[in-house]
Amino acid sequence: MSARRTAQRGRGARTRRFALAVSMALLCTARATAQDTGALDLQTWRLALARSLQDGPSPRDWALGSQLLETRPATGSALPERAAILQRAARAAPGDLLVQALWSNLPAPDPPCPARTACIAHAAAWADADPQNGAAWLAVVGQAWQDGEARVADTALARMAATDRYNEHLGVAVAAWQDLLRRHPSPLPKHVPRAGSPEGAAPADEDDLVLEEALATATMPLAALFHACAPGDPDAGAARASDCAQVARLLMRHAQTLAGRTAGVALLRRLHAGTPADVAMVRTVTWQDERYRALAPAIGGSGVARRNHLRLLQATDSEIEVVQYELRIAGVPLTPPEDWRQTVNGRPVEPLEDPADAGP
């Protein structure tokens, strides 16, 4: 395995954990008391449904079914089967952005793809269908970085930097999974009563399943962006540093998930590219992230709040709008007090400072 691929895997795992942290807080309460027998029944249902969907007429169902083939936790063992299914679905539904995103974001083969032109075309499927959405270019950046194609990476970063929209479409994914479960109910209960703390957690239900699968559908491959934008690449074009800074601001200001916005802040800090004009937005994003992390367990502990959360995601297709609404109704201001400072590992952090510079 190449050093580039090894680094991508390690950083990818950390980025996925980072990207899911806030939304997964909504899941942990209900899943605390799930039984092993129930998990086994659910896995059996997942595999059976995944394969039965392939006999139906809907390319989107084929694509969602391919995701059900993946184990939980994911091991990647189903990648070849998933790739065949998603390629078929993408060809059959070129205008379905959810299908194209699933196909583009499917991890590339390991070792790196032997047919690089085909792999870049695969990664670019979503960008071809929706070129003005910055999120659609991430897979192209990732594939180009993995294959050592600096010129392709530079072009994709420039295209991404030129966009003014970045939507992971988590709400679209929620709607798709709710529709699928309406037509193909799982062995889980529809809704279960919930307590307000992990100690009184109820078993998992279909609300948990919808959110878990939607998060998996809409999680972006951010790791390679950090690698491609790392300073010091001798093959990088002259504009890569400025394009990466613009991409960081794109995520920080326009991503429609909180994880996307905090990733933008992290990249801007990593690049040491922040300016005084960025301070207010950095403070707003980090403040909302901190306050929502504190609020999320209470939402996850209430069945009514969870269902409302899912309804709002579906209606707005923006986790940011939902987060800001839930903060407002909890009485939390959307901008921080003047004297507030972000704290990382017990240490105050300045808005444009990279916490990694100070070490653990």
Q: Average pLDDT, whole number, for the chain?
A: 85
User: Is a pLDDT exceeding 60 seen at residue 358?
Assistant: yes
Q: Residue 10 — pLDDT band, cuts 50, 70, 90?
A: very low
User: What letter would DSSP give residue 203?
Assistant: P
Classify 349 as helix, strand or coil. Answer: strand
- CA 259, CA 272: separation in Å to the nearest integer? 20
What single-letter amino acid sits at 104? S
pLDDT of residue 14: 42
List the domain range (segments joined by +) for residue 129.
3-358
Look at the block and give the residue holding tokens 């070792």.
111
- CA 96, CA 117: separation in Å to the nearest integer? 23
The tokens of 93 are what? 């539904």
pLDDT of residue 267: 97
Q: Residue 197 — pLDDT band, cuts 50, 70, 90?
A: very low
Sign of the torsion formed by the C-alpha atoms of 186, 191, 192 and 195: positive
Whether 203 contacts 38, CB under 8 Å: yes
Tell me the average pLDDT across 303-324. Answer: 94
Distance of CA 312 to the CA centre of its chain: 18
Residue 35 CB coordination number (10 Å): 10
- CA 289, CA 283: separation in Å to the nearest integer? 10
**Based on the structure, what is the number of domains in the chain?**
1
> Pick the residue with more confidence: 66 or 37?
66
Q: Residue 208 — pLDDT band, cuts 50, 70, 90?
A: confident
- CA 113, CA 221: separation in Å to the nearest integer? 17
Of the listed ranges 146-155, 190-199, 227-236, the one predicted with least confidence = 190-199
The tokens of 136 are what? 């659609």
> Pick the residue with more confidence: 26 or 282?
282
pLDDT of residue 146: 87
Instruction: For residue 64, give the nearest of 45, 79, 84, 49 by alpha carbon.
Output: 49
The tokens of 200 are what? 């009184």
The tokens of 128 are what? 């071809």
User: Is a pLDDT exceeding 70 seen at residue 233?
Assistant: yes
Query: For the chain, how big is the Rg over CA atoms in Å?
Result: 20
pLDDT of residue 240: 96
Residue 103 CB coordination number (10 Å): 27
Look at the block and give the residue holding tokens 């992230």.
289
pLDDT of residue 170: 97
